[in-house]
Chains A and B, each alone.
Chain A
């Protein structure tokens, strides 16, 4: 999978967890404050990303993910 596809898929996974459509998402949105992704949803999101994109997200990587853009950057560099 190239990094554009991976980012597109990641955006869809975030949208599904946030119960929004992918077109509503913006890079600077805060996952918790803007999208309401609380801890149970965040853990689902992490596992959905790992399973959907076949990658591993360490605790340290997760600690750096605060916005939609943070996730897309990580996915882009991991793909």
Chain B
């Protein structure tokens, strides 16, 4: 088979898209979704080659790591694709947005630069100045702005062609030390996953997406695997258009997403549950006068727990504008599998089973009563449910979700201990809990103490360290963070803190300081801060906080 038929590397896939779909491409919108700059795949290819030359002129070489912390833009795409073209390993981080200094983002980029020994950080001028004022030297010294990079006269480069099993990029995911871990993704992983997603999404429609869709409209950030692999690479292999909104535009004005979906022909989209929830909370059909959503053919939902209440509310609200309930396509994936593991194949909308009552305790959710099918595994991907002894469990029994397939990562960058925990003889242990029924996966919770708030993964000790900084704990005074969720709101973070302070006013000051530290450090609003007296937080004999038990005590009102 020629490389134009079944590309296994990013450069091949880009060349194939330019050759086969010369009219298709990507449009990137400005912050107000008023204007967009569209490039066809041949133009994307030219720009990537030129960017590779600019990177080489800047001193980047094959195998070098570089961090990209930029908002959605052509600079992001050119910088990323150019680096991959050159054989370097890009790793994308959130650029920070909103109010206040981007301290949390700067610290994260600083940690990643140090851990990966990054050669460059492609950042905006504002970001570089924030890094400077925060004394983040590893960022400042290696920062390069898009103007500097693309202002260089590009070197003539002809990098060696990557092999399918070479690493193409690194994907950040939350790690146990507060510094994100970098998931190593291969060229084969990306291209296989993109094709498998394209194929699965097309199944109920009777053919590949290019036969029934003109494009994807997405607001997902490009540092998110669902934005990068699920949107950029899926459109590249499928030969359809990509309409890219700024994530910030969507968060401020979600109507732009729906408007573009209604306007750009036959469209589909990927989003986490909270994206659909935001539309339900913020928009009324009245805000969307004249909009017709009947050409929206698939609404993939994934990256966090799928909430039946959200789906029902979305269908209720936007059904009158032409949105069809069967468009909802639940899916499941994670960075360690490149992206997709399963996706709904039936095309009948959300299908649920009642949560077996004996599971209520280990579910993530306080009041989860039904669980959504996230569909069967994608092509060439195997899912089994394993017990704590590693043996395969029978249909309907809950255990850890384990995955095998071409998309499974090769390990975390320079972290063999974490890799050994997640990869057991080539099989990915996801840390997610669920069961299989008739070949379809149902998720019920997690084995890890991970919190997923609005699509962002957090480890509990990231919150606990900040809380204990305020109470002066860490030794005798402990804290425990976990998530709870109610109805459509999704997971929210709660921290329980031990204090010896008896003065109510001083306790209130501590509460405010904890909220302040957590919001500054993690960009997170805590749903609740609960103070308890010293020794009240349950611990194991070795002194480890038992977060699961603490969470049960909180939900049962035992901490009040």
Contacts and interface: CB of A to CB of B under 8 A. Distances in A.
Contact of B101 (A36, A38, A63): A63
B207 to A, nearest CB: 37
Contact of A32 (B97, B100, B130, B282): B100
B124 interface: yes
B420 interface: no
Contact of A31 (B100, B251, B512): B100
A33 interface: yes
A63 B102 contact: yes
Given A30-B516, A32-B99, A43 B252 contact: yes
Contact of B523 (A34, A39, A46): A39
B485 interface: no
Interface in B147-178: none
A59 interface: yes
Contacts of A33: 512, 515-516, 518-520, 525
Given A62-B98, A65-B99, A66-B100, A38 B126 contact: no
B97 A43 contact: yes
Nearest to B456: A39
B471 to A, nearest CB: 16
A36 B101 CA distance: 16
Interface size class of B (residues with CB under 8 A): 20 to 34
Contacts of A22: none
Q: Which of the listed residues B248, B512, B523 has the most CB atoms from chain A within 10 Å of its own CB?
A: B248
B251 A60 contact: no
Contacts of B520: 32-33
Interface in A19-77: 30-34, 36-40, 42-47, 59-60, 62-66
Contacts of A38: 454, 519, 523-525
Nearest to A43: B252
A63 B278 CA distance: 24
A59 B126 contact: yes
Contact of B252 (A30, A31, A44): A44
Contacts of B516: 30, 32-33
Contacts of A66: 99-101
B525 A36 contact: yes
B2 to A, nearest CB: 46
A14 B518 CA distance: 21
Interface string B70-114: 000000000000000000000000000111111000000000000
Q: Which of the listed residues A31, A46, A59 has the most CB atoms from chain B within 10 Å of its own CB?
A: A59
Contacts of B523: 32, 38-39
Q: Which of the listed residues B97, B100, B126, B248 has the most CB atoms from chain A within 10 Å of its own CB?
A: B100
Nearest to B524: A38
Nearest to B518: A33
Interface in B123-151: 124, 126, 129-130
Contacts of A32: 99-100, 515-516, 519-520, 523, 525
Contacts, number: 76
Nearest to A50: B32
Contacts of A64: 101
Q: Which of the listed residues A33, A37, A45, A46 has the most CB atoms from chain B within 10 Å of its own CB?
A: A33
A17 to B, nearest CB: 10
B519 A46 contact: no
Contacts of B252: 40, 43-44, 46-47
Contacts of B552: none
Given A39-B97, A46-B98, A34 B251 contact: no
Contact of A65 (B100, B251, B282, B515): B100
B38 interface: no
A43 B130 contact: no
A42 B99 contact: yes
A69 to B, nearest CB: 13
B100 A63 contact: yes
Interface in B496-547: 512, 515-516, 518-520, 523-525
A60 to B, nearest CB: 5
B253 interface: yes
A40 B278 contact: yes
A13 to B, nearest CB: 13
Nearest to B71: A59
A42 B100 CA distance: 10
Contacts of B102: 63
Interface string B295-338: 00000000000000000000000000000000000000000000
Contacts of A65: 99-100
Nearest to B130: A63
Nearest to B527: A36
Contacts of A36: 525
A66 to B, nearest CB: 4
Given A33-B516, A63-B130, A47 B100 contact: no
A30 B99 CA distance: 10
Interface in B313-369: none
Contact of A60 (B99, B126, B282): B126
A65 B102 CA distance: 11
The 8 closest A-B pairs by CB, nearest first: A42-B98, A32-B519, A33-B515, A43-B252, A40-B251, A33-B516, A47-B252, A42-B99
Interface of A: 30-34, 36-40, 42-47, 59-60, 62-66
Interface of B: 97-102, 124, 126, 129-130, 248, 251-253, 278, 282, 454, 512, 515-516, 518-520, 523-525
30 contacts: A30-B516, A30-B519, A31-B99, A32-B515, A32-B516, A32-B519, A32-B523, A32-B525, A33-B512, A33-B518, A33-B519, A33-B525, A34-B512, A34-B515, A38-B525, A39-B97, A40-B252, A40-B278, A43-B98, A44-B251, A45-B99, A46-B99, A47-B252, A59-B97, A59-B126, A62-B99, A63-B130, A64-B101, A65-B100, A66-B99
